Structure 1
Amino acid sequence: MALALTYETSRTLVRMRLASFRHALRDQLRRSWIITGAFIGLVLAGGTIWLAARGEQDVLVVVLALWMLGWVVGPLFAGGGDETLKPEYFTMLPLSPRTLSSGLLVAALAGVAPVISLIALVSLVILGGQLSVVAALVAVPALLLQLFCFVLASRLAVAVYGVLLQARAGAVIAALVNAFILAFAAQGWALIAAFVSTDVQGTIAKAARFAPSGWGFTAVEAAGRGDWLQLLAALAGLAVLALVMLLVWSALLVRRTTANRAGRTPRRQLTASTAEGAAAAKELRSWTRDLLYGHRAVFAIAYGLFFCLMPLAIGLKSMLPWAGPAAVIMAGSMSCNLYGADGTALWTTVMTPGASRPDVRARQRAFLLAFGPVTLAITVVLTWWSGVASAWPLVLSVLPALLGGAAGLIVACSVYSAVPTTDAHKRSGNPLNTGENEGETMGIVYVMLIAVATSCAPALIVALYTGWWGVPVGLLSGALFWWYFGRVTARRLEQKGPELLTLLRHGRSPAEQAKKTAGLDALPKWRRTLAGFCLGFGAIPLIPQSVVPLVIKLTGSNSSKSWFLALYQEGAWQWVVIVLMGALGLSMYAFGGLTYYYARKHAPGASVAVGAA
């Protein structure tokens, strides 16, 4: 009876998951994200199979470990993963935790990512075929068990992460882990180079074999050499690990769907006597008490530190002075949807006459107080530690410009390009999941990374040519960004506050969604694809091939060429490559952005909407 109920539950949930996937494909933006992700995944899966065909066993087992790592950490950067079917939806049904978790697990397998991972794990079959017929046969159950472990590890990581985010210390730990992983994705070359230079490749491969991601690989190898005891131990280990993760996940689902989330009594009441003081106190409390706000703040600061400290593994100190500016850029991008995160709580501002300007300025001041002192301290300490005297005027010019630019851009972006999210009081047991518009939010985050970074351009240029004169330019440009964007944002909020509240409360109507994509649908498919590619990959020539080599050149450190193309050139050609790569990256962003802008502008009904606005 229990097995029959589990089967029917799984079947129903799979049908619901597939129906939701078909619905997602109707949205042009989400379809673009899915197609791009699937293409990249297929390329990586093909590379994994190619390694198996070449017999690169040590490299293959490390790559399989990276696949499992991607399953674990990927959802942490994608709004908690795909939770189309939230456990909270089924709390009123007479289903046991194990039945529900088993059904959700089977439903999770009905997606693009599991299919791509399954293709990558075919490398085990290819490896087994090179060893023996028995090894090829053993590879089939091994890859299926390995896939189950991948998906379960992902679900369990999200569940554990959700538990951590419900406690202040846990939110800090989760932010540190996230920041290290993302920084490693960008600067991990330094750690890898340090490992390679110490001849530990074999040690890494051996460790990957002992990790759960290598147990299927170990089973195939054992079958190839006739070691039946190790074969059985590896397969049994995968089965037991999958069962244990399923049981733990079931227990966490029970905690998630039954936990009491009653509000707590405030430790300190607001005592402000003016509207400006009350708004400022409220915003400061948001940064210190809201766990998601605190998580993002710690993440941004830790990312800046990890990003610039990792090159120390190869003795490169020239990145140290830029930890503070890097943290500000990340903080600005992570705060691009402040008003969207408020949700329906925005009505308290809309319904209070004259509250728009104090509220906007309060959010700007809170951001500066949250990140200004700490990033200044980080910049001063690490610049002194680096011993690069020429970096002082550069970083002290750039930092105030970035702080003011970020404080102005975050409020403007969150009002002009607000994305509806789940209200704070309606958040599910997975705090990472903030609604159905994660793809749109991530797109704005990427745009804000570039916008905040370019806000320091005047100060940087002046500092490069005149040295310390860049400091007053940075202070002035930061103040202008703060004042101007705060002013236009307050005016916009005053005029369009009710419309913004309606958007955050009800989301976009189907007609608005269709109007949003009508212009894109009218474009040739090749142009839509090219625009999406440019927006997705424009950062590669711009950041690592232009900005980072520029920083290395300006600080006078060429100790590591790594994968920076410009540093492999001679003399003036280094500057030529840096400029060309920067121009290529900016051109890619310009082409993609202008394509989407003009598509929306010339969409059917756009002129009417603009006139009404």
Structure 2
Amino acid sequence: MAVALTVPGTMAGMKLAVLRNSMSGQKAGLILTGGVLGLALAGGTLFAAFRSGDLLAAAYAIWMLGWIFGPVFSGGGDETLRPEYFTLLGLPPRRLAAGLLVGAFVGVAPAISLLALAGLAVAGVRQSPVAVVVALPAMFLQLAVFVLLSRVAVAVLGLALRSRVGAVGAGVVNGAILAALGQGWVFAVALGQAGGITPEASAALRYLPSGWGLAAVEAAGTGSWGRAGLALGALALLVALLLAAWAALLTRRTGSARASARGRRPITAASAPGAVVAKELRIWSRDLVRTHQLTFALAYGVFFAAAPLVLGVDGMLPWAGPIFVLMAAAMSANMYGVDGTALWLTLVAPGTADVRGRQLAWLLVVGPVAVALTLAFSAVAGGPDPMVLALTAALLGGGAGIVPLVSVYALVPGTDPHRRGGNPLRFTEDDGAMTGMAYAVLALVALTGAPAAAAVWLYGWAGAAVGVLTGALFLWGLGLLAQRRLHDRGPELLQLMRTGKRPPAEPGGWTRFDDLPKRERIIMAVCWTFGAIPLFPQGVVPALFKVNEVESKSWFLALHLPEAFQWPVIAFMVLLGLGLYGLGVWIPYRHRKP
């Protein structure tokens, strides 16, 4: 009994020990970068607390969505302590869930979220000092709700990915919500045009679980102690219900998924590349995780491009195709890593068929959908745009070339598909490297569209052919480099897949991230994290707004300046973003071994 009572404390100690001994290398850089971004967001939340309760309620709604959907991009979230580790201890599900919950409070993300929730105390002080008495328990209950919602969402998504309907539905929901968060400026402008947060929206924000703590504080500030107690009681009850739901889902997670017994036609092919294509297409159709990823990329592209319709602007609709291609490439970045140790099957059949077959299969899966999106939405928006058509062709070729190339040069050891356990979102033990690879592929594929964009900018429709040409060149050339790398370094890649240890760097080769000095690792992490901010939101997007004569200024710095300074500032932002990415590439090159 004494041992059982110490389970939460023991798990918290285990979590602290693991974190203390893993703060090194790339993971430390990513945690530091995420901590800086989190502190900035927490500061913005506290600033909203000083402005108005409506802004604070909206901020906490965004924090809740971040806790729920953030784990989708990070391999199922923080799973330093996994339920599978404790299945042989015979702990009751609720005690196991309670212990894991206490362990989940140990980390950078909960600490930063608690700092953001200090806005409840600020709101209490602004109304009545007595309300602070309610704000303190509300902070911790609200944090418990955020953490438990994250855990339950991951568990539910894991169950959903055991069926095709669930995988598709989860992809649509995740893509729509993440696209809405990415296009938050649209809704901010719409609210500004409506005169701010309407009373109906204000009430709705407080009915959400993220607003119950604020509702309790505001009720206490006005002397309505009954309503304050009711709101706190609702938070406590929700914590208990979520804990019970998580305990029930843990028992489902440690079980095994039932395999499909439906028959399949045998794979037939007349050539080696055709066999690889058939095998890859079969995997795309059978692997529910890939189904979820592809659906997510499609939903994200459609909803991201359709968000400006809220303002009556349809000029972004045709961009759904290129955005879908970018997200599909990012989702499939670790193409060879997800094979796990089955990579040996590729290595015992040497030749050029494997890379070319995977490229063709990726194009067959992504290409028709991207082209259909581009043509259909272009027709809705008033006709085809040479820039969109050229970029669609260029990005398809660039994605088909970049994905296998990055996968063999920066392979992240993946978990064998049959050993993914109860969390199918976790492909690898190194979630930080996987996330970094996805962002790198996103940026690199976007850069492959630069020549086509420049050609269309200069020559109009005549430059659209450049998109097709560059796409074909990237497809062929980058695929050739991937073939050579796979042929020359195949055994080393298999060793990395089996052991997780990278072989020593080649003389004259680029220095790995973990081998860089600590200062350079921090600089490189900052460059790759923040390079996208000036390049895309402050450079490329306002340039598209000016070209398409969109009147909204939103939060784009250049559009708030006099006309004479707008294009120079846009050019400066683009160069700054490219410069940050260039510095991130130059640092490991400068430290290469002689």
The two structures have a TM-score, normalised by structure 2, of: 0.94
CA contact (8 A) 1:5 1:99 kept: no
Hey, what's the Cα distance between the residues in 1 that align with 2:410 and 2:461?
Answer: 36
Whole-Å Cα distance in 2 between the matches of residues 404 and 533 of structure 1? 29
Establish whether residue 365 from structure 1 lines up as the match of residue 360 from structure 2: yes
2:89 & 2:308 partners in 1: Cα distance? 53
1:539 lines up with 2:529 in the alignment: no
Structure 1 CA distance for aligned equivalents of residues 551 and 44 of structure 2:
31
Distance 1:443 1:20, change over 3 A: same
CA distance in 1, matches of 2:405, 2:174: 27
Query: Deviations 1:459-508 (Å, cap 9, x if unpaired)?
Result: 22222222222233222211111111222212221222111111111111
- 1:296-330 Cα deviation digits (max 9, x unpaired): 21122222211211111112222122211111122
- The 1:581–1:244 alpha-carbon spacing in structure 2 relative to 1, beyond 3 Å, is same
Q: Read off the aligned partner of 2:355 and give its amino acid letter.
A: V
> Number of matched residues?
588
Whole-angstrom CA distance in 2 between matches of 1:251 and 1:82: 20
Match for 2:113 among 111, 117, 135?
117
2:472 matches 1:472: no
1:212 aligned residue (209, 212, 222): 209
Aligned residue for 1:86?
A: 82
> Where does residue 301 of structure 1 map in the other structure?
298
Q: Which residue of 1 aligns with 2:339?
A: 342
Preserved contact between residue 58 and residue 202 of structure 1 (Cα < 8 Å): no
Question: In the TM superposition, what whole-angstrom CA distance separates every residue of 1:265-287 from its partner, at most 9, and x where no partner exists?
Answer: 55222122432222111111111
SS in structure 2 at match of 1:92: helix
Structure 2: distance between partners of 1:499 and 1:151? 40
1:8 aligns with one of 6, 9, 12? 6
Distance in 2 between residues matched to 1:419 and 1:379, nearest whole Å: 33
CA contact (8 A) 1:319 1:552 kept: no
Instruction: Tell me the secondary structure at the aligned position of residue 434 of structure 1.
Output: coil
Task: Map 1:13-412 to 2 at 5 A.
Answer: 13-25=11-23, 27-52=24-49, 54=50, 56-199=52-195, 200-262=197-259, 264=261, 266-352=263-349, 354=350, 356-387=351-382, 389=383, 392-412=385-405
Counterpart CA distance in 2 for 1:569 and 1:224 is: 42
Does the CA contact (< 8 Å) of 2:25 and 2:514 recur in 1? no
- Structure 1 pair 511–96 and aligned structure 2 pair: CA distance change class (3 A): farther
Which residue identity is paired with 2:477?
A: Y
- 2:436 maps to 1:433: no
Higher mean displacement: 32-41 or 339-348:
32-41
Aligned CA distance change for structure 1 residues 573 and 83 (closer, same or farther; 3 Å)? same
**CA shift in 2, pair 1:86/1:263, >3 Å:** farther
Q: In 2 relative to 1, CA 182–55 (structure 1 residues): closer, same or farther, beyond 3 Å?
A: closer
Do the aligned partners of 2:158 and 2:423 also contact (CA within 8 Å) in 1? yes
Aligned residues of 2:162 and 2:257 also touching (Cα < 8 A): no
8 Å contact kept, 1:311–1:319: yes
Matched, 1:589 2:578: no
Q: Deviations over 1:81-133 (max 9, x none)?
A: 00011111111111111111111001111111112222222222233334445
Under a length normalisation based on structure 1, what TM-score does the superposition of the two structures give? 0.91
Q: Which amino acid aligns with 1:453?
A: A
Is 1:500–2:493 an aligned residue pair? Answer: yes
Cα offset for 1:178?
1.9
Q: Residue 149 and residue 5 in structure 1: after superposition, are their counterparts in 2 closer, same or farther (change >3 A)?
A: farther
- 3-state SS of paired residue (2:118): helix
Letter of the 1:136 counterpart: V
Match of 1:611 in 2: none
What's the secondary structure of 2:412's corresponding residue?
coil
Equivalent residues of 2:335, 2:407 under 8 A apart: yes
State the shift of 1:436 in Å: 2.1
CA distance in 1 between counterparts of 2:563 and 2:136 reads: 55
> In the TM superposition, what is the alpha-carbon distance from 1:31 to its structure 2 partner?
0.8
The one-letter code of the counterpart of 1:154 is S
Q: Which amino acid aligns with 1:558?
A: V
Between stretches 125-134 and 216-225, larger displacement belongs to 125-134
* Contact persistence 1:320–1:383 (CA under 8 A): yes
Q: CA deviation at 1:260?
A: 4.0
Change (3 A) 1:211 1:283: same
- For 1:220 and 1:592, locate their aligned partners in 2 and report how far apart those are by CA, in whole Å: 46
Give 1:445's aligned amino acid: A
- Alignment RMSD: 2.1
C-alpha change, 1:364 and 1:64, in structure 2 (3 Å) is same
**Separation in 2 of the partners of 1:119 and 1:458?**
45
**8 A contact 1:319–1:551 mirrored in 2:** no
Which residue is 2:508 aligned to? none
Q: Deviations over 1:185-228 (max 9, x none)?
A: 32121123223323443322221211111212222222222223
Query: What code does the residue aligned with 2:212 have?
Result: W
Report the secondary structure of 1:91's partner residue: helix
Using the alignment, how far apart are the partners of 1:394 and 1:47 within structure 2? 37
Change (3 A) 1:322 1:338: same
Letter in 2 for 1:480: L
Distance across 1 between alignment mates of 2:319 and 2:105: 42
* Partner Cα distance (2:251, 2:489) in 1: 42
1:442-521 equivalence runs, <5 A: 442-508=435-501, 516=512, 519-521=515-517
Tell me: CA distance 1:58–1:399, structure 2 relative to 1, closer, same or farther (3 Å): closer
**Structure 1 residue 404: Cα displacement:** 1.0
The answer (yes or no) to whether the contact 1:316–1:557 under 8 Å persists in 2 is no
Superposed CA deviations along residues 34-86 of structure 1, whole A, max 9, x for unmatched, are: 1122222223323333443x362222222222222221122222211000111
1:565 and 2:557 aligned: yes
- Give SS of 2:441's match: helix
Deviations 1:354-405 (A, max 9, x none): 3x41111111111111111111111111112111x5x522222222111111
The equivalent position to 1:577 in structure 2, one of 569, 573, 578, is 569
Structure 1 Cα separation of the partners of residues 107 and 391 of structure 2: 44
Task: State the secondary structure of the residue aligned to 1:104.
Answer: helix
Identity of aligned residues (%): 48
Question: Residues 509 and 19 (structure 1 numbering): CA distance in 2 closer, same or farther, change over 3 Å?
Answer: farther
> Alignment partner of 1:258: what SS?
coil
Pairing of 1:514-529 with structure 2 (within 5 A):
516=512, 519-521=515-517, 525=519, 527-529=520-522
The CA distance in 1 between the partners of 2:541 and 2:43, in whole Å, is 30
**CA–CA distance in structure 2, aligned partners of residues 400 and 260 of structure 1:** 39
**Shift in alpha-carbon separation, 1:64–1:394, aligned structure 2, 3 A:** closer
Take 2:557 and 2:143, find their aligned partners in 1: how far apart are those partners?
A: 37
The one-letter amino acid of 2:54's match is D
Change (3 A) 1:23 1:264: farther
* Cα distance in 2 between the residues matched to 1:276 and 1:107: 48
How far apart in 2 are the matches of 1:111 and 1:135? 28
